[in-house]
A and B are shown apart, each in its own frame.
Chain A
Amino acid sequence: MAQTDRQYTAPARLFHWVIAGLILYQIPLAYYMIGLPLSPDKLGSYALHKSIGITIFAVSAARLAWRWLRPPPPLPANLGPATRRVGAFTHGLLYCLTFAMPLVGWLSSSAANFPVSPFGWFTLPNLVAPDGELHERLELAHRLLAYMLFGTLSLHAGAALYHHFILRDGVLRAMLPFTGNRS
């Protein structure tokens, strides 16, 4: 029983891995697309990048709502307060970035008069009036946020592996899919 209490709920694990998968697809796609010469392929890749980004935003919102309804399981008792604080900070930052990156991308597209249409389903309103200078600053912000994301993701994945292989405390297993009743 104690083991299942340490487990994230199934929806929480699903949210986590869907977002992880989308981000791990999104980043190489971003570098692929910016390297393409201007072509229908480039426009298509940008469109996909924007659609996936907006999806990440939406799934993150659902994920936060679920987290509020079903708080995460407690951490192992032997973790010190400093470790907990670093963990909470990293997680907070990751949440912020999964919202900030798409939001800045959307703002940047708006400033370039490129309305965003997720998967062609509907068109999002432009958030700001077209403005070339603002667009360049937002593009830079999007890039800096990406670097922050790389740093934070590395820390996050490194910590998960550290918990699993060094501390062997089940923290990673709590988030893995298909780990229902195993110890």
Chain B
Amino acid sequence: MRVLPIGLSFLGALAMSAQAQAELWTPVAADSTLSFSAEQQGAAFEGLFNKFTATFDLDPADPTTARIEATIDMDSVDTLYDERDEALREPEWFDVERFPEGRFVSEQIQKAESGYLADAFLTLRDATQPIALQFTLETLPDGRLRFEGQSVVSRLAFGVGNGQWENTDWVGDAVTIRVSLILEQSLP
């Protein structure tokens, strides 16, 4: 029977795809946000980056094998107050003219108490620093994935707010980054 080997290899292929298979996932822009919370004058305020892209080389069954990369358009910063956004684009902060993009690259992912912990490198301006991103991943009924991540970083470690802004009396050093994404599988 010639059908048998063909049938077997078909079964084999099925088995392989059921195993850990990284697939390419990307955020659905309309349902995804990259936001941050920082402290000014003793009070927290929220901001967004309206433009960013990300790719997830990801097996939903085992996120520890994933590789995540993201690029942030620093000019798209939006703190819901134009004057502050303008100030953030200046050389003392993001310096978007010289450093238009921020980069995030995951290094290693491990299971955490709840969800996962990604050791990653974040590049802002010309500084690359290790950061830890805590995240959860959930498969939605429609097959898409919900990714919720959070990381607390030091703005000063990246030189964001240099010169007189190294003073943290009125603009705090700690910034909480929040990633809330809906991922859909895209063709590689």
Taking beta carbons and an 8 Å cutoff, which residues of A are in contact with B?
A: 38-40, 43-44, 46-47, 50, 112-117, 119-121, 123-124, 130, 132, 135
Contact = CB atoms under 8 A, between A and B. Distances in A.
B113 to A, nearest CB: 29
A132 B82 contact: yes
Contacts of A119: 42
A54 to B, nearest CB: 12
Given A47-B42, A113-B79, A120-B42, 8 more contacts: A38-B87, A40-B164, A40-B170, A113-B45, A114-B45, A115-B43, A117-B42, A130-B80
A114 B42 contact: no
B42 A113 contact: no
Contacts of A50: 41
Given A38-B87, A132-B82, A46 B164 contact: no
Contacts, number: 56
A112 B84 CA distance: 9
Interface of B: 40-46, 79-84, 87, 164-165, 167, 169-171
A135 B40 contact: no
A31 B123 CA distance: 40
A140 to B, nearest CB: 16
A120 B165 CA distance: 19
Nearest to A111: B81
A46 B44 CA distance: 16
Given A50-B41, A116-B43, A40 B81 contact: no
Contacts of A114: 40-41, 43, 45, 81
A44 B81 contact: no
A46 B41 contact: yes
Contact of B167 (A40, A46, A132): A40
16 contacts: A39-B164, A40-B170, A43-B41, A43-B171, A44-B41, A44-B170, A47-B170, A113-B80, A114-B43, A117-B41, A117-B43, A120-B41, A121-B42, A123-B42, A124-B43, A130-B80
A116 B170 CA distance: 12
The 7 A-B residue pairs with the shortest CB-CB distance, nearest first, are A120-B42, A130-B80, A117-B42, A43-B170, A117-B43, A115-B43, A47-B41
Contacts of B165: 40
A47 B44 CA distance: 13
A135 B87 contact: no
Given A40-B165, A130-B80, A115 B170 contact: no
A144 B60 CA distance: 59
A43 B46 CA distance: 17
A165 B101 CA distance: 70
Contact of B81 (A38, A113, A120): A113
A46 B84 CA distance: 14
A132 B43 contact: no
Contacts of B164: 39-40
B42 A135 contact: no
A115 B44 contact: yes
Contacts of B87: 38
Nearest to B165: A40
B67 to A, nearest CB: 35
Nearest to B87: A38
A1 B84 CA distance: 60
B168 to A, nearest CB: 9
A39 B164 CA distance: 7
A112 B87 CA distance: 14
A125 to B, nearest CB: 10
